[in-house]
Structure 1
Amino acid sequence: MARILVLEDDADFADLVKLDLEQAGHKVDITDSGTSAFDLITETHYDLLIADIYIWKEGKVQPDGGLLLAGRLHRLRLTESSDPRGTMPIIVMTGAVNRPGQENILKVASSVGADAVLAKPFSSRDLHKTVHKLLTDHRPT
């Protein structure tokens, strides 16, 4: 199946996503920072990225979350079409959609290059449906 990178700061949630995707036959790696995710994507071919929009450490939002990472990869799509990192589909996820001032965060994520968005909590079915759609839509011809 597919090789998937998950960027998630909540280790328990990341493990649940990993277990769910591995049971579906995918190979899954986990990281908890956008910087390390970008490094991993540079070193290893991934078929899909699933990234939490906001990465928290020590009670503070970190500047290298999934939103910034999606933007960096989107810029590669626009400027370096031959770079395989720019062609990888991206799912962003967040639990912030119900927080004050965050109503449009999923639209913002789409505008910076996310191919799909998932609002936490999401079902296993929604995860699998979204993963399958993106992997099918982005299959090399």
Structure 2
Amino acid sequence: MATALVIEDDDDIRRLLEVVLTQAGYSVAATDTGTSGLELLDAQVPDLLLVDVGLPDIEGYEVVRRARDRVEGHIVMLSARSQEADVQLGIEAGADEYLTKPFRPRQLRERLMEIVTRTVRREGR
């Protein structure tokens, strides 16, 4: 079974992501801080990592930078910040995709399935 890790501090969005991913066939772990998310990565590397930009302890961009070398699968950043500069920061940090909030569950599921069916392309791999 594919695995996913959700690092999102908003309880409602985190639960929504857990439901959407579980329905899509993922075994899901979730947490609300970057520090605990990185600790979970030490225990098990997921096939899909979703990271909120605005975490309470470590900015999501930094979480992605630290996680990128360990995660072979897709990394998706989530944020209400929708400026092109924010998206570019996410991609430069190592995210494969940057999705903006708010989103509807069905749209989110469709978008995530579209993302995970793409081949992960990494320089040097």
TM-score over 0.5 (shorter chain): yes
Q: Write the mapping of 1:31-110 to structure 2, written as runs, cut at 5 A.
A: 31-56=31-56, 62=57, 64-74=58-68, 76=69, 85-97=70-82, 103-110=84-91
In the superposition, the TM-score normalised over structure 2's length comes to 0.83
Unaligned 5+ segments in structure 2 are 121-125
Q: Deviations over 1:20-63 (max 9, x none)?
A: 2212222111111111111111111311100101113xxxxx3x
Counterparts of 1:41 and 1:133, CA distance in 2: 24
CA contact (8 A) 1:51 1:93 kept: yes
CA contact (8 A) 1:50 1:90 kept: yes
Unaligned 5+ segments in structure 1 are 57-61, 77-84
Percent identity of equivalent pairs: 33
Aligned length: 120
Q: Residue 137 in 1 paired to residue 118 in 2? A: yes
Aligned to 2:94, what secondary structure does the other structure show?
A: coil
Counterparts of 1:86 and 1:16, CA distance in 2: 23
Aligned to 2:28, what secondary structure does the other structure show?
A: strand
CA contact (8 A) 2:41 2:67 kept: no
Aligned to 1:121, what secondary structure does the other structure show?
A: coil
Q: Runs of at least 4 residues of structure 1 off by over 3 A?
A: none
Aligned to 2:90, what secondary structure does the other structure show?
A: helix
CA contact (8 A) 2:38 2:63 kept: yes
Cα root mean square deviation, aligned: 1.9
Counterpart selection for 2:95 from 105, 108, 114: 114
Aligned-pair distance for 1:132?
A: 2.0
Larger Rg computed on CA atoms: 1
